[in-house]
Structure 1
Amino acid sequence: MRVAIIGFGAVGQGVAAVLADPVHGFTLTGVADSRSAIMNGDGLNPEEILAKKKETGLCGIEGKSAADILASGVFDILVEASPTNANGGEPATSLIRSTLRSGRHVVTSNKGPIASAYHELKAIADEQKVGLGYEATVAGAVPVINGIRHGLAGNTIRSLYGILNGTCNYILTRMRDEGLTYQQALQEARDLGYAEADPTYDVKGIDAAIKLVILANTLLGMNVTLSDVDISGIDLVTVEALNLAEDEGSTVRLIGEIIPERKIIRVSPRVLALDHPLVVDGTLNAIQVCTDMAGHVTFIGRGAGAQPTASAILADLISIRDYYGGRS
């Protein structure tokens, strides 16, 4: 199947690198970044495009855009990997909507459209009989969405708890292990590329909250928005608080929580015993689901970065290809 990539930052480039391997069986036919685009229905060379991006900052012809790729129709699946806008998900939401309406599949790593418009987008996909994949929006390489939807099919989800932001987990891990202050650990996370120059979405708990909204709406039958989430971040957590928890055989982690029956959905720093399954270190993500039949099931893995996210996108691409039999 032919694949076009919209958004050519770290994630988009990671996907292009994966598609360069012919073993996966996909043909890259379009790429767009914020200032340029390139398309060819017969196929593009991912390695050449990646080299050009590294050398010039452009993936294609300056002045061309995602709109040109959409108008060309030279793809069967669109990979939408532009940056997240938590307030409505635009312009990605409109782009995904129009692509689905055109009868083409979409795979996205963009949390904004799925958090703000999932039910609408899924309805369009169902009407057009096309796929909408979004595994990469939550927990990177950890197959939590497909794991719950398919692996725990038939179970009633009583609660879901998780570490959904690797940046926060890294900061708290370093504060506990090395006695760093919050500011010192945050700066280290920036230096290593784990935190953005403006880390507000991460450290204030907003990123984790967006992921909770996605999980609630797509897996748990809820209809919530970001404003429904009770959010507290880690920016007020101190070394003293971590030391006190350590003395009691515990530590502090930023936990997202959903209890559907009680309509609870919140993100906050929580004290957990050191041997709790959710106490993972560094940038790992961990999600624990409590079900009626399977009991407690825990997913742990790499939750961020170009390669883990590309892994989740590739899984969705393969699922769509196999399910729809190659038809666009």
Structure 2
Amino acid sequence: MRIAIIGFGAVGQGLARVLADTGFTVTAVADSRSACINKDGLDLPEVLARKEESGLCGSAGIGIADILSSGAFDILVEVSPTNAETGEPALSTIRSALAMGKHVVTSNKGPIACAYHELKALADINGVMLGYEATVAGAVPIVSGLRHGLAGNTVRSLHGILNGTCNYILTRMRDEGLTYPQALQEARDLGYAEADPTYDVKGIDAAIKLVILANTLLGMDIRLSDVDITGIDSITLEALSLAESEGATIRLIGEILPERNQVRVSPRVIPLDHPLVVDGTLNAISVCCDLAGPVTFIGKGAGPYPTASAILADLNFIRDSYDRGA
């Protein structure tokens, strides 16, 4: 199957490297300032080298509209930066592709958080698939795990560590006695935190992921404004030390209680032997189901290759379904 990649930052480039050996053909790539199209398939090492040398993946006179109008793809992979408030411009791009009868796979949280029900309806009308495993928890297969692995279960509650930056900061504060500013600076130096870490440390990123899980898997219909959010930027070393003295620690926990229609993100004191006490940038999600009981998913929640892993899972699912005539 032919793939067009929209967004060629760290995730897009990581995906291009992975796809080189998977049997998929990449026919188009776009970054924020350029694009390239070849209906017979692009030379991905050449595109990657051009991006590294010039900052452009293709010609400056070509853009996303040209890729869409070419129709030279079966699956659109949308991995551009997230705009949580509007989902744009990715939302319009995804709408257009679905309306054309093209499958879409995305790691972009904004469109799924803002307009999942609309996009899913559009995909169904046009007989195509919408994959978004990569929008929540990176390589952790939480979407497919809940949709397929735990099919038939009713989820009573979901609790998770959904932001690796916050988890890294709190881990370093606990293990090394760093203050919050010190741990945040270390996270920046290592590339775990953005220059402006507001979305992460204020709990907004985790809240967006909860909205996606609630709306797409748990039968809810909420917006980001419905989530009660408290971040970690007020956590002190003293608070962590006090928790440690009581055999516990502090983590930023996202919570969904479907039966109460309750969604919130906040720092929580949890026992050191709790399954959600994972270190560094790991993500962890525990769900309590009526039949399966408690089930916990743990893995790498961010980065080019964990994200590419989730995207590739969706791509393979679509290809396998297509091959079966689904």
Indicate the TM-score class for this superposition, using the shorter chain for normalisation: over 0.9
State percent identity of aligned pairs. Answer: 77
Distance in 1 separating the partners of 2:280 and 2:46: 34
Is the CA contact 1:286–1:298 (under 8 Å) kept in the aligned structure 2?
A: yes
- Equivalent in the alignment of 2:72: 74
Distance in 2 separating the partners of 1:39 and 1:192: 35
User: Among 148, 158, 161, which residue is 1:160 paired with?
Assistant: 158
Map 1:1-328 onto structure 2 (within 5 A). 1-21=1-21, 24-325=22-323
Instruction: Give, in angstroms, the shift of residue 62 of structure 1.
Output: 1.2
> Which amino acid in 2 is paired with 1:63?
G
Is the CA contact 1:250–1:271 (under 8 Å) kept in the aligned structure 2?
A: yes
> Which amino acid in 2 is paired with 1:117?
A
> Which amino acid in 2 is paired with 1:137?
T
Is the CA contact 1:160–1:258 (under 8 Å) kept in the aligned structure 2?
A: yes
Is the CA contact 1:163–1:256 (under 8 Å) kept in the aligned structure 2?
A: yes
CA shift in 2, pair 1:212/1:33, >3 Å:
same
How many residue pairs align between the two structures?
326
Could you tell me which runs of 5 or more consecutive residues in structure 2 were left unpaired when the two chains were aligned.
none
Displaced runs of 4+ in structure 1, greater than 3 A?
none
CA-to-aligned-CA distance 1:90-111 (integer Å, 9 cap, x gap) = 1111110110000000000000
Is the CA contact 1:88–1:112 (under 8 Å) kept in the aligned structure 2?
A: yes
Distance in 2 separating the partners of 1:291 and 1:312: 24
Distance in 1 separating the partners of 2:110 and 2:325: 28
Is the CA contact 1:76–1:105 (under 8 Å) kept in the aligned structure 2?
A: yes
Instruction: Give, in angstroms, the shift of residue 64 of structure 1.
Output: 1.3
Is the CA contact 1:133–1:316 (under 8 Å) kept in the aligned structure 2?
A: yes
Distance in 2 separating the partners of 1:46 and 1:327: 29
CA-to-aligned-CA distance 1:134-157 (integer Å, 9 cap, x gap) = 000000000000001100000000
Distance in 1 separating the partners of 2:87 and 2:293: 35
CA-to-aligned-CA distance 1:250-277 (integer Å, 9 cap, x gap) = 0000000000001110000000000000
> Which amino acid in 2 is paired with 1:157?
V
CA-to-aligned-CA distance 1:101-142 (integer Å, 9 cap, x gap) = 000000000000000000000000011110100000000000
> Which amino acid in 1 is paired with 2:8?
F
Could you tell me which runs of 5 or more consecutive residues in structure 1 were left unpaired when the two chains were aligned.
none
Distance in 1 separating the partners of 2:174 and 2:203: 19
Distance in 2 separating the partners of 1:324 and 1:148: 22
SS of residue matched to 1:61: coil
SS of residue matched to 2:40: coil
> Which amino acid in 2 is paired with 1:221?
G
**Bigger mean CA offset, 273-282 vs 64-73:** 64-73
TM-score (norm 1): 0.98
**Bigger mean CA offset, 62-71 vs 35-44:** 62-71
Distance in 1 separating the partners of 2:297 and 2:157: 14
Distance in 2 separating the partners of 1:238 and 1:320: 46
CA-to-aligned-CA distance 1:173-194 (integer Å, 9 cap, x gap) = 0000001011110010011000
Is the CA contact 1:88–1:117 (under 8 Å) kept in the aligned structure 2?
A: no
Instruction: Give, in angstroms, the shift of residue 63 of structure 1.
Output: 2.5
Instruction: Give, in angstroms, the shift of residue 326 of structure 1.
Output: 8.5
SS of residue matched to 2:302: coil
Instruction: Give, in angstroms, the shift of residue 316 of structure 1.
Output: 0.3
Instruction: Give, in angstroms, the shift of residue 325 of structure 1.
Output: 2.3
Distance in 2 separating the partners of 1:269 and 1:257: 11
Distance in 1 separating the partners of 2:153 and 2:224: 26
Instruction: Name the Cα RMSD after superposition.
Output: 1.0
Distance in 2 separating the partners of 1:73 and 1:122: 21
TM-score (norm 2): 0.99
Distance in 1 separating the partners of 2:306 and 2:325: 27
Distance in 2 separating the partners of 1:66 and 1:180: 45
